[in-house]
Structure formats: C-alpha cells, structure tokens
Chains A and B, each alone.
Chain A
C-alpha cells in the first residue's frame, strides 16, 4: 500500500477521534445537564476526562497529517479551503478548551455538593447552564464540523 494511503488513513483516524470525541463529550454534557443529583453530574462530567486525550490526539493527527497531505497531493497552502480549515481548527480547539474549563469547574462544584448531602446548589445550576460556556462548547463543535465540510467540499480546488 502506498505511503499516501496510510497518511490519508491516519489523517481520517484523527478526524474520527476529533469529531467522535467531540460527540462523546457533547453527549456526556447533555446527559449531565439532565441528571438530577450532583453525584450523578460529577460522575458524568468526570467521564469527559477519558475523552479529552482522544480529542487531543485527533486534533494533532488531523493538523499534522493534513498539512503533510496538502503538500504531498500538490495542493497550495494558500488555497481558501486549506487556510480556512486551519483557522477553524484553531478556533474549534480554543473554544473547546475554554468551554471544557467551565465544565471542569461544574464537575468540581458537583463533587463538592455530592460530598455535602448530594443536594444541588444555585452555583452548580449556574455553572451547568453557563451561557458562555455552553456557547463555547457548541461553537467548538460547529467549527470542527465546518472543517469536515471544507475537507469534503474543497471550494475552489
């Protein structure tokens, strides 16, 4: 098998880890929002920590192998779909990181509440429904999805 085929296969593997990981993190967050007790919320948000390394590895593989493939396949780094994808990749990862920090604070608060009688507090509800945090997390997902759109559509090429 050609080296380019393996490059492509591992680039796509990165895409699966990145977008699949984002779906998993999103699902766990939605499930945590619907959970009743702080102990349940802490448990579900705690599982996101297992997904984060997959997202990080996926992000790395998509960028490094993607840029390698652009060169290998003779595309221009100045092509719109290439630089737009890189910009969206940066935005997606930055927003995901910021949103993730707010969810981590919610997990810590949920854990604290769980240890003190397993009763929810206004602070926990505030953190879980934080509009900025949720907007960043969903915005991150949309940015990563747009990268996939650009990879398949390749406008202008």
Chain B
C-alpha cells in the first residue's frame, strides 16, 4: 500500500480502506453462511446472515463510501474527465448499497419464513457483490485508466 498513501491525509484513506476491507469480510461471511444453508437449512444460518449484513456489512459500507467521498472532495475531482478507476469504484459502491439492502431484506425474510429460495438469492447476490468488490479494489489500487 506504499504508493497508495503517499501525500494523502491519514484518516480519510485509513477509514476508506478499513471500511472496504471490513465490507469484504462481512459480505464473505454472509455469502458463506447462505451457501452453507444450501446443504444444511437450519435457522441459525438465516439469523447469522441477517445480523452479519445488518451489523457489519452495512456500517462498513457507510464508512467506506463516506470516506471515499471525503477523499474525492479533498483531491479536487469535479466529475469532468474523472479517471476510469474512480468511476468503477463509485459504480460498485453505489450499486453495492442496493445489493446489500436487498440481501439484508431477503435475509430477514429468510429468517422469518425459512424460505430456501431467499437463502439462495442471498447466496447469489452476496457472491456477485464479492466479485464486484474484487474488481473495484483492483481497479482503484492499480489505477486502471
């Protein structure tokens, strides 16, 4: 992370990266729990998926996104001719909120109803979002343009 940090204020970058890494971990946890339910549909998996998304993934998303915006403002980007990596990062982040909210809602429904379809949709959505997060961090750290 050496080049990434040079000449930038500490807090916004630290919180942005920490939020993104925690978001990845929380989404991976939710995906793992939801996939595990495919083979063992027990209530504890539904409950755990819901709380992982609500208490870890969503707060981590807020930290990541808010501090991303802080860095964006500090570095004087205007929206005109912004680099591609920035667009990829914002797109994945903003679509990601919808994916997370839908997944959290479905996990709640799964917890209440025990519906296996909800579990499978949560597993699929969180896995897709994990893949999108990988693309976003590669684009942002390697500065794809």
Q: Which positions in A face B, CB cutoff 8 Å?
A: 1, 4-6, 8-9, 11-13, 15-16, 19-24, 27-28, 31, 35, 37, 39-40, 43-44, 47, 50-51, 54, 66, 69-70, 73, 75, 145, 148-149, 151-154
Contact = CB atoms under 8 A, between A and B. Distances in A.
A12 B1 contact: yes
A13 B1 CA distance: 10
Interface of A is mostly: helix
A75 B1 CA distance: 13
A131 B74 CA distance: 43
Nearest to B36: A47
Nearest to B45: A43
Given A20-B25, A50-B32, A70-B2, 10 more contacts: A1-B142, A8-B3, A13-B134, A15-B17, A16-B134, A27-B25, A31-B51, A43-B42, A43-B44, A152-B1
A32 to B, nearest CB: 9
Nearest to B22: A23
24 contacts: A8-B1, A20-B22, A20-B28, A23-B21, A23-B24, A24-B25, A27-B25, A27-B26, A27-B56, A28-B32, A35-B44, A40-B42, A44-B44, A47-B36, A69-B2, A148-B14, A151-B1, A151-B2, A151-B5, A152-B4, A152-B13, A152-B14, A153-B14, A154-B5
B48 interface: yes
Contacts of A75: 2
The 10 closest A-B pairs by CB, nearest first: A23-B25, A20-B25, A9-B142, A20-B24, A19-B21, A40-B44, A12-B141, A151-B1, A5-B142, A24-B29
Contacts of A11: 1-2
Contacts of A43: 36, 40, 42, 44-45
Given A8-B2, A43-B44, A16 B21 contact: yes
